[in-house]
Amino acid sequence: MNEGLRPTLAVVLFWGVLLAVAVLMRPPLPVDETRYLAVAWEMWRDGSFLVPRLNGEFYSHKPPLLFWLMHLGWFALGVNEWSPRLIAPAFGLGSLVLTYRLAGVLWPMRPAVASIAPMVVLGSVFWAIFTTLTMFDVMVTFFVLLGAIGIVRTWLAGARSGVLLLGLALGGGILAKGPVVLLHLLPVALLAPLWGPGFAGADDRRNPMGGWPRWYGGILAAVGIGAAIGLAWAIPAAIAGGPPFAKAIFWKQSAGRMVDAFTHGQPWWFYLVALPLALLPWAAWPAAWRAICRTQQGVGDGGMRFCGVWLVSTLLIFSAVSAKQVHYLLPAFPALALLLSRALVGGELGSERKRRWDLVPPAALMALVGAVIAALALPVGMKLPWWTRGAAGEWGLALAAAAFVLVVIPPPNLRARVACLASLSILAGLVVHLAFRPPIAAAFDLRPIAGKLAQWEREGRPLAFLGKYHGQFHFLGRLEKPMGVIGILWPDEKVWVERNPNGLVVSVHSKIPAEAPPVFHAPFRGRLFTIWDVATLKRHPRVAGREQEPSKSYE
């Protein structure tokens, strides 16, 4: 078999196994995955493919590309739960392919970089977690990589096709998650004077585009193409949705987040703390640190300059932005993986003794994770958190054993070591899914309660949710009508109860109240979703309570 093909096949195999286990073992997670499924369902149900909706209201938080792709799967396969959950992971696989391609463009004379870079990406705990979730950032990563290839191609060859590729990437990113894609790609394009000469040579600062005015004119043209693609949806959607919806999509979800986060506000140093954790297990590998310390030897390397400008500009910009979530850095993660891969390829592994001891820290970390999971199977005389109850801790022994084998029989070369560390990280993800399947299913599977709500809706009984509703039940129950949202502005709860004598109200409790039992209840994150009929609420006005759902959102 071709030596360059083996790593590619290994990456695809790792990705496929990780995805299959995640989709089969884990229900759609509230509140984000269930919300995005609900938005797609309501658009599909009502034939409203231009303006997203949630619980009957316009949904301005995200553009429609993910929902359109869900609809495409439903057109071909019928409405189902599994095909929408393959979309974001498919973009993740595409991102690995584009990482391979970008490495080949940046370092054509060093094919080893391209062979290990996708494994560094996929083998990171950070990536392995988020690539299986139905979210938007992996989609943005795909378009950022596509745009990065367009930028480098334009610089190296002066090709108009590179400008077009960058424009298409900007447009796709805008439809995936809005103008945030500009923050990833425009800085590295505008700062070409910092990295471009590294490709042409230290004594040749000629711009292949024929001068800086032409270069920046090409970037402006690409932005125009991307804006045209985004506006092709945004303008008709703004007209259809009205002024409030227009204001939300043109301001609140872009500049509004940057100036003053209405959610997810974090201190400026948040990413500096989160990044080392996101880099595991590579951050625990001494060979990686030695390689990084030698990177000053390649400061004239255009590829390293390009990735360095890409990474640093993203970190600075997103650290200054008010809203912060660790997964917002996913589109910049390939830059870090490419830098690490290039540094590793440029160095030596050292003596056999050093190579063996190098693997001890990351292997010990994974063995510790496996031991902690395995310990959950032991009888203990203390109350454990809800997410450990019923865990199949025996799976942790497999991870600990694999880590031990990696140290005892170390792989012989760099490519094999990267592949083995990546496979160990992916095994850790598989073990977590397998070990925690029982508590995850018990705590996050909303299908039973959604099915009951659907049954009552078919019987003509009005439904309401006490507190903020994120659409958790709409797709899973295929609900046809909006749920009432009460308990937010007094006296909306009292008014709804008076107007709907045969209605049902969903609320959240830590335990079932002693005053009266609900008509149905189901566990959720260590608490309970409870359903009350209006007759009970009239006899016991306080029984539904005002406990809010623990609804952390990643939007």
Q: Note the pLDDT of residue 4.
A: 53
Hey, what amino acid is at 311?
A: L
Residues 6+ away with beta carbon under 8 Å from 117: 99, 100, 103, 334, 337, 338, 341
Any bridge partners for residue 82, and if so which?
A: none
Peptide bond into 491 cis (omega under 30): yes
- pLDDT digits 0-9 by tens, 213-266: 888 999 999 999 999 999 999 999 999 888 888 888 877 665 545 444 445 567
pTM of the predicted model, to two decimals?
Answer: 0.90
Q: Note the pLDDT of residue 350.
A: 46
Cα 399 to chain centroid, rounded: 24
**Regions of the chain short of the pLDDT cut 50:** 1, 201-205, 256, 258-262, 350-352, 547-554
- pLDDT digits 0-9 by tens, 307-333: 999 999 999 998 887 777 888 889 999
The 8-class DSSP code of residue 107 comes to: -
Hey, what amino acid is at 293?
A: C
Neighbours of 504 (CB within 10 A): 23
Backbone angles phi, psi at 223, to 5 degrees: -60, -40
Q: Which two tokens stand for residue 396?
A: 């942790």
SS3 535: helix
Q: DSSP string of 277-345? A: HHTTTGGG-HHHHHHHHTGGGGTT-HHHHHHHHHHHHHHHHHHHSSB--GGGGGGGHHHHHHHHHHHHH
- Write down how long the chain is: 555
Backbone angles phi, psi at 58, to 5 degrees: -60, 135
Helices (H), 191-211: 192-195, 197-200
**Cα distances (Å, whole numbers) of residue 224 to 144, 173, 182:** 16, 14, 12
SS3 445: coil
Nearest to 518, CA basis, from 504, 506, 530, 508: 530
